Amino acid sequence: MDGYTLTHKTPTKKDFLDTADFDQSEMLDIIKLSRTVRDYIKKGGYLNSLYHKSLAMLFEQKSTRTRVSFEVAMEQLGGHALNLAPGAIQLGKHETIEDTAQVLGRMCDMIMSRVDRHESIEALAKYAKCPVINGMSDRVHPTQGVGDMITIFDHWPAGKESNDVKVVFVGDATQVCNTICEITTKMGMHFVHYGPENHKISDEWLRKGQENARKYGGSAIWSDDPACLFGADFIYTDVWYGLYDKETPKEVYMADFYPKYQVNDELLNATGNPNVKFLHCLPANRNEEVTDSVLDGPHSVAWDEAENRLTAQRGLVLYFGNVAEATLDYIKKGGK
């Protein structure tokens, strides 16, 4: 037998830059994989699916949940994560992002990067030979979106089908808002962005949501009318003044949102749903976009959502590391 010939063809490289690049069945596969692995590990199961596999974590911004969840995910699955924080490597000083991508793509099995601009993650994916995962850009936050959908499935409204579920994103149209519009409508849900007109979700992202709705059911709209809150199953918010807003004084920016769009007990009551759940991608500016009484209250699933970043990352590194089927088969056989 030829020692230089593999029995099976090597898998085609696939990147995870945006949930919009995947159809409903693919996203459901990732979510199912993530939840199955979570349940197995919580029952005491051990996985070594990524033994001797390395993930390069390239950060242009500080991170808590993204860094910790990916690093823990790799460790729990038998792999290794390299934290390449700002200033730790030559990127941006003596080396271009294209050259960095080629080097990391030859040394590591996967790359995850949180970037300032979406063009940077696209460049990484173009020049790296290994799969690239978008840990957040100014355009989208797909890994957050997977964790959010896992949380929504975990807290699914009793007796409802997907076309009956309503998710209202309150406040600024951040990159998280874009992703939530795309992924919830891909699941056939009703999406509403409730926010001021000068900070509303772009026509591009509304079109994506509406295209999904035509295919899967549901709907996608923007509104500044508080009546749109009624019937919501999930209320979601993000910071009003974030990483990409420094060119505007905070007090000027905030004036567009407060008090109308603050998620407080009154806003939750406006849903008319005693079982409504509250989501926040975190970190939160307490008592700005959300009050303590909501974030720490009985409707909040924000802490489950934060934990599900780890749930999501395990699924993502297994899926894009091309060991998903083998891992599920191992679990199905009881770890044998």
Which residue bears the tokens 């056939």?
188
Say what percent of the chain tops pLDDT 90.
85
Structure tokens belonging to residue 11: 């898998």
Q: Are strands 277-280 and 166-170 parallel, antiparallel or unpaired?
A: unpaired
Please give the average per-residue pLDDT across 58-84, as a whole number. Answer: 96
Residue 8 in this model has a pLDDT that exceeds 50? no
CA dist 144 and 262 (Å) reads 22
Asked if residue 296 and residue 162 are part of one domain, the reply reads yes
The SS3 of residue 200 is: coil
Residue 9 has a pLDDT of 41
Determine contact, residues 192/166, Cβ cutoff 8 Å.
yes
Asked if residue 325 and residue 226 are part of one domain, the reply reads no
Determine contact, residues 208/141, Cβ cutoff 8 Å.
no
Domain containing 258 equals 156-300
The closest of 287, 286, 294 to 265, measured between CA atoms, is: 294
Count of CB atoms situated within 10 Å of the CB of 244: 11
Asked if residue 276 and residue 174 are part of one domain, the reply reads yes
The SS3 of residue 52 is: coil
Is residue 7 assigned to a domain?
A: no
pLDDT one-digit tens code per residue, 155-193? 999 999 999 999 999 999 999 999 999 999 999 999 999
Determine contact, residues 176/203, Cβ cutoff 8 Å.
no
Which residue bears the tokens 């920016």?
253
Tell me how many domains the chain contains. 2
> At 238, which CATH number?
3.40.50.1370
Residue 6 has a pLDDT of 31
